[in-house]
Structure 1
Amino acid sequence: MGLKAALSKPFAAWAVRGINKWKFNAIAAQEQVLANLINTAKHTLFGKDHNFQDIKNYQDFKKHVPVRDYEDLKPYIERVVKGESDILWKGKPLYFAKTSGTTSGVKYIPLSKESMPEHIKAARNALLCYIHETGDASFVDGKMIFLQGSPEMDKKAGISFGRLSGIVAHHVPQYLQKNRLPSYQVNCIADWEEKVDAIVEETFHEDMRLISGIPPWCQMYFDRLSAKANGKKIKDIFKNFSLFVYGGVNFEPYRARIEESIGKKISTIETYPASEGFIAFQDSQQDKGLLLLADAGIFYEFIPTDEYFNENPTRLSLAEVELNKNYALIMSTNAGLWGYAIGDTVKFISKNPYKILVTGRIKHYISAFGEHVIGEEVEHALLHVAKEEGLEITEFTVAPQVNPPIGELPYHEWFVEFVKQPADLAVFSAKVDEQLQLKNIYYKDLIQGKVLQPLIIRPLQVKAFVNLMRAEGKLGGQNKVPRLANDRALADKLVPYQLS
């Protein structure tokens, strides 16, 4: 065991003791977070506009601060972007995280000197919890790679902005810098495919032990490593590779193919970072739940997903949530986001401590006929049957077909890129439809009532999604394929990629 690995174990024990102080006292931690947020921002423009001086508790907060999305907060954010101080949070932001919004165009999410350290601490603590629980710190003595956006940044009104993953690259602790790849020069390559090829060349002969990134883009890295090694598995290229850290999307649709590429099962840690704040991470290998970070400068609220689009939806604090119920996640942060609807849906699988699963996006659903099918349901249906049939799925998305050929009923159209095609696509499709009916009673009623016909799967060409993302200029980085949509914007673009 190397010196770094040896030192990391007492460091991990210290970190876990700190986590445990709030882990089982999350409600008190959240009450303190809210009080601190209100007190710190009461003299800002937003605080004055929303009577922060009158807010004494959560009930007051709900009265004065409505739920907003980016468009609703944009008038305040635009003033921050122009360089004004004390608008949403005291002073000016440390950075803006630049993200791509579906309706808002480019979004600029503020990161403050209070919020930025929480991103770094959470990423660090996810690894330290793993070390403390498993006793395995061997990855610390080898090389680590974080597949991320470019660390190069631009400026607006004197404030640096760029992709969150690129910003984070500037804050990697010094004790990890020598272990970390890719190099700064390679990380700055703008073209994703060129960048992946450069990363392959730079890492191929290194002792890679930890690999981190969004699963589909890690898969591209693995594919190109394997091609360079004449088909070898990743475990034979990186013999000490022992830990895969991921976030951004549900890993399950990618798990089978990634494990096949690696050549063995491997320990994984799921994280839930967002530009708006680092929300949760998997703190134990014993369950898949993500520990909600209740003491990280974020106050959370939850709206039942079936009420989200109501005029006055129910808003719940952490103390009021129920297990196994889907909620839209609302955040107020120490970077100046207030009652902010991040767009994700989560459900709690534990309240002692509070642990969540990310179940989808509030705007990624199909309800063209009143069924309100969500991402969690389509993923379960497809992956359950694929596992039974021994099939691997590269990527997929689902959309409604409301204008079928004359004489046919409407249906859900699934665009699926298989690693290997099903022996009988009709039988496979029927099984997937059956699973979806079991998960969603409204969908079942529409099928049985002959309002919809059973779903139709359109197999796609190999690399269909990669080729489409390339054509759209969205290859790599933090870009993700939506699992489903209530329109056909993505579906219609995939039609040319169907197998004939």
Structure 2
Amino acid sequence: MAIIGNLIKGVINLRNSISSETDHVKNQKETLIYLLEKAKHTEFGKHYEFSKVLDSENPYKEFKSTIPYFSYEKIQNEWWYKLHEGKDDVTWPGHPNYFALSSGTTGKTSKRIPVTDDMIEAIKNAGIKQVLAMENFKLPADFFEKEIMMLGSSTNLEKNNNHVEGEISGISASRIPFWFRGFYKPGEEISKIDDWDERVQKIAENAKNWDIGALSGIPSWMELMMEKVIDYHKVDNIHDIWPNLKVYTSGGVAFGPYEKSFKRLTGNPVEVIDTYLASEGFIALQTRPETDSMQLLTDNGIFFEFVPFQPEYINQDGSLKPDSPSISIEDVELDKDYVLLVSTVSGAWRYSIGDTIQFTDIEKAEIKITGRTKFFLNTVGSQLSVNKMDAAMKELEEQFDVDISEYTICAKRAEDGEFYHFWYLGASTTDLDTSKVADALDEALQAANKNYKVARTKALKGVKVNLIKPEVFYEWNARNKKKGGQVKMERVMNEEKFEDWEKFVQEH
């Protein structure tokens, strides 16, 4: 019914036409005050004297001089553990009904990050903002009648004492409003299947029954799902099954490394829209087609801070040193790497989520994710960040006509006693001269990074490359975390983890 699509599009047009330009600095000042007011009677708020912070002439200055930085381990060991003992009003009023499980990149026991009703509401509001932003992408009216394939973790959440837990994508999908359920695929029954392979098999079997207009999920798992559907139906590309597919909303990781392999699976162009949903909250989303940067959600229950991403401010484990300087959004600069800190309506305070970002447009508060603090490779002064590595992968793809969707690296001594960077690349073909690939990678990194170039003339002897199938990375993730989940592949490994990885590769 085309009339429904035109009606929805008309409502979006109307909402966007009456919205004014956003004042992100004002939004953030108001958000900080809101968070402090709401939490001032919690244990955390009393301990750090939020009332005193609120009464000061400069609340942000008082806020950052009073409250330390928190990693997950620090806030869990000092505060959040009380939530699991049944206590209320710890770092946020009341008690969270949900906990988001996030194993991050370590493969160790899952982090349990509180998700309050206020955060659920904030994530829902971010979803509405995303729908409203669709008008900027000039999509046809009938797009708004199509179904949306949301591929995330199982919505079959686990009960644990007085709360429910699962990955944030599963929590979000389990709270889909009733009016949206007719558009949502693969539907409630299939989404509850815990086993990833069984769930994807069911999606493949039912794929022709659905008219999918949009896909949403982690790139690596989305590609595996599309490959399964294509193979099951013996077709050339995903548009042979879903001809009306127009949009893919990516998230969780940078889409760049997957761009080439993703295009190989689609027959027609697909608008890729980036989103930034972390276990700690919905942080940013792309609002316009002229850029692939994302706009920080500055009025949606999260206060942001930024620490310059410099080696002297970062501990070996990726955490921040206590005396590292932080700034608010009004003092940020373009094209400079920052460690992102959040204070949220789930009771996270000055909390490092481990990501680094750059501002690409300050007035619009638009950012790009540039990497992870744990993935910053500074052995022998090479100072390589993930965005530099991603850019080098793109150069290799063009030079050797190959898809490289996954990679990992370790800096260690070889048998000759010299330091090398050991790379494993998940490539669409392994029939390449690895010495030529290594030389090209080395040249690309030297051209892009002066610190790396200096390191190459001193302590860093060279680059060694191994080409393997991308499936090995997916199986590694499946073994260490959960297949189909919110996974950030370890782009940089320490020597102990790398030894385990190499054994795993040899077995596969």
Specify if TM > 0.5: yes
> 1:133 touches 1:284 (CA, 8 Å); kept in 2?
yes
1:228 Cα deviation (Å)? 1.2
Identity among equivalent positions (%) equals: 28
The correspondence for 2:330, drawn from 319, 326, 330, is 319
TM-score with structure 2 length normalisation? 0.92
Greater shift, 159-168 or 214-223, is seen at: 159-168
* Counterpart-to-counterpart distance in 1, 2:110 and 2:403: 34
1:230 Cα deviation (Å)? 1.6
The SS at the match of 2:381 is: coil
AA aligned opposite 1:94: N
* Counterpart-to-counterpart distance in 1, 2:130 and 2:502: 37
Map Cα deviations across residues 120-178 of structure 1 (whole Å, 9 max, x no partner): 22123223212344143433212211001111223334222222111111222333211
1:435 Cα deviation (Å)? 1.2
Map Cα deviations across residues 26-48 of structure 1 (whole Å, 9 max, x no partner): 00110000011111111110001
> 1:13 touches 1:132 (CA, 8 Å); kept in 2?
no
* Counterpart-to-counterpart distance in 2, 1:272 and 1:229: 32
* Counterpart-to-counterpart distance in 1, 2:504 and 2:103: 25
> 1:207 touches 1:240 (CA, 8 Å); kept in 2?
yes
1:79 Cα deviation (Å)? 0.8
Provide the residue aligned with 1:62 in structure 2: 64
Structure 1 unaligned regions, length at least 5: none
1:196 Cα deviation (Å)? 0.9
The SS at the match of 2:456 is: helix
- 1:443 and 2:452 equivalent? yes
> 1:415 touches 1:491 (CA, 8 Å); kept in 2?
no
* Counterpart-to-counterpart distance in 2, 1:169 and 1:344: 24
* Counterpart-to-counterpart distance in 2, 1:98 and 1:425: 38
AA aligned opposite 1:415: Y
Provide the residue aligned with 2:99 in structure 1: 96
* Counterpart-to-counterpart distance in 2, 1:40 and 1:161: 24
> 2:476 touches 2:504 (CA, 8 Å); kept in 1?
no
> 1:415 touches 1:494 (CA, 8 Å); kept in 2?
no
* Counterpart-to-counterpart distance in 2, 1:318 and 1:173: 33
- 1:44 and 2:42 equivalent? yes
Q: Judging changes above 3 Å, is the alpha-carbon distance between structure 1 residues 495 and 433 closer, same or farther for their aligned structure 2 residues?
A: farther
Provide the residue aligned with 2:86 in structure 1: 83
AA aligned opposite 1:7: L
> 2:147 touches 2:212 (CA, 8 Å); kept in 1?
yes
Greater shift, 215-224 or 137-146, is seen at: 137-146
Provide the residue aligned with 1:466 in structure 2: 474
The aligned runs of 1:346-425 (5 Å cut-off) are: 346-402=357-413, 404-406=414-416, 409-421=418-430, 423-425=432-434
* Counterpart-to-counterpart distance in 2, 1:230 and 1:491: 39
TM-score with structure 1 length normalisation? 0.94
AA aligned opposite 2:369: V
Q: Judging changes above 3 Å, is the alpha-carbon distance between structure 1 residues 193 and 286 closer, same or farther for their aligned structure 2 residues?
A: same
* Counterpart-to-counterpart distance in 2, 1:336 and 1:472: 28
Map Cα deviations across residues 437-470 of structure 1 (whole Å, 9 max, x no partner): 1222222111122x21221111114622123334
The SS at the match of 1:455 is: strand
1:2 Cα deviation (Å)? 2.2
Provide the residue aligned with 1:497 in structure 2: 505
Q: Judging changes above 3 Å, is the alpha-carbon distance between structure 1 residues 491 and 11 closer, same or farther for their aligned structure 2 residues?
A: farther
AA aligned opposite 2:339: A
The SS at the match of 1:87 is: coil
Q: Judging changes above 3 Å, is the alpha-carbon distance between structure 1 residues 70 and 48 closer, same or farther for their aligned structure 2 residues?
A: same
Greater shift, 267-276 or 74-83, is seen at: 74-83
1:227 Cα deviation (Å)? 0.7
- 1:331 and 2:342 equivalent? yes
Provide the residue aligned with 1:302 in structure 2: 306
AA aligned opposite 1:6: N
* Counterpart-to-counterpart distance in 1, 2:81 and 2:14: 41
The SS at the match of 2:368 is: strand
> 1:458 touches 1:498 (CA, 8 Å); kept in 2?
no
The aligned runs of 1:189-204 (5 Å cut-off) are: 189-204=193-208
AA aligned opposite 2:99: F
Map Cα deviations across residues 231-258 of structure 1 (whole Å, 9 max, x no partner): 4211111111111111011111111111
> 1:461 touches 1:499 (CA, 8 Å); kept in 2?
no
The aligned runs of 1:210-249 (5 Å cut-off) are: 210-249=214-253
Provide the residue aligned with 1:5 in structure 2: 5
1:497 Cα deviation (Å)? 2.7
> 1:398 touches 1:414 (CA, 8 Å); kept in 2?
yes
> 2:408 touches 2:423 (CA, 8 Å); kept in 1?
yes
Provide the residue aligned with 2:175 in structure 1: 171
* Counterpart-to-counterpart distance in 2, 1:200 and 1:189: 14
The SS at the match of 1:315 is: coil
* Counterpart-to-counterpart distance in 2, 1:296 and 1:496: 42
* Counterpart-to-counterpart distance in 2, 1:495 and 1:3: 58
> 1:410 touches 1:453 (CA, 8 Å); kept in 2?
yes
Q: Which runs of 4+ in 1 moved over 4 A?
A: none
> 2:430 touches 2:468 (CA, 8 Å); kept in 1?
no
Provide the residue aligned with 2:460 in structure 1: 452
AA aligned opposite 1:148: G
Provide the residue aligned with 1:121 in structure 2: 125
The correspondence for 1:53, drawn from 51, 54, 61, is 51
> 2:5 touches 2:141 (CA, 8 Å); kept in 1?
yes
Map Cα deviations across residues 313-359 of structure 1 (whole Å, 9 max, x no partner): 11100011110000000000111111111111000000111100001
1:499 Cα deviation (Å)? 11
* Counterpart-to-counterpart distance in 2, 1:106 and 1:472: 11
> 1:367 touches 1:486 (CA, 8 Å); kept in 2?
no
- 1:107 and 2:115 equivalent? no
> 1:401 touches 1:411 (CA, 8 Å); kept in 2?
yes
AA aligned opposite 2:164: S
AA aligned opposite 2:331: E
Map Cα deviations across residues 83-128 of structure 1 (whole Å, 9 max, x no partner): 2111111111132112225387222211222221111221232232
> 2:107 touches 2:480 (CA, 8 Å); kept in 1?
no
* Counterpart-to-counterpart distance in 2, 1:487 and 1:123: 41
The SS at the match of 1:115 is: helix
AA aligned opposite 2:25: I
